[in-house]
Amino acid sequence: MTTFVLVHGAWGGAHGFRHVRRLLSGAGHEVFTPALTGIGERSHLASPQVDLTTHVTDVVNLVLYEDLDPIVLVGFSYGGMVVTGALDAIGERVRSLVYLDAFVPDDGDSLYGLLGVPVPPRTLGAPWLVEGPVRAYEDPAEEAFSTPRRTLHPVGCFTEPVRLSRPLEEWPFRRIYVRATAEEPRVPANPAFEAAAARARASEAWVHREIATTHLVAQNRPRELTDLLLDVA
């Protein structure tokens, strides 16, 4: 049995992994899908104080309080920032680290920094919630389920830098990058994802995989993603 911890992305929630969670559980594995504070099913806790540290703590506390060891830790999209920030606290418990079409930061990187987006002013009364892009789903039923459940996202999560005591390649776990290769008609290509995929392709310290779908891999191709996770785990 393998223990998986699946960390969702921005504007989403743990429900985005529901198909993969059921498939992994049905195969006899233990699966945790933490819901990050202030978005998704915990959107009622949104506030200007929610930032990357909040979400890192969500994941770290789940792993420590449940005493999960060893784990396969998966970060989807923005979740790549979160799982990276969690490593100094729980990295010794990680057997494999999977970035699922995700940001791969180094120490001091923020999400906006990786995208080259100027940091908005954090002055009194400034907007603190960010609206996400319209995403492409392969299944109309999945789109009908998911679209009403997308929420605004606190901007502090995108401006706060990650803290990491040593480079990713120096940690003893396996590193896997999974790139979604299909273009989305209404969403510009994400240069940070392609840079992360190129980093993985160029290094013997990484395993690089691809899935031919758009960004919401877990909702578009749950069976294919489950098979990949079982393979790399």
Judging by DSSP bridges, how do beta strands 174-180 and 206-211 pair with one another? parallel
pLDDT of res. 83: 99
Give every residue of the chain whose pLDDT is below 50, as ranges: none
- Domain extent listing, the chain: 3-232
pLDDT of res. 104: 98
pLDDT of res. 233: 78
Taking the whole predicted model, whether its pTM rises above 0.95 is answered as yes
Give 75-101 pLDDT, tens digit per residue. Answer: 999 999 999 999 999 999 999 999 999
Give 148-172 pLDDT, tens digit per residue. Answer: 999 999 999 999 999 999 999 999 9
Verify whether residue 77 is a known catalytic residue. yes
pLDDT of res. 119: 81
pLDDT of res. 188: 86
Q: Which of 43, 77, 96, 146 is catalytic?
A: 77
Q: Which CATH number fits domain 3-232: 3.30.43.10, 3.90.580.10, 3.40.50.2300, 3.40.50.1820?
A: 3.40.50.1820
pLDDT of res. 112: 97
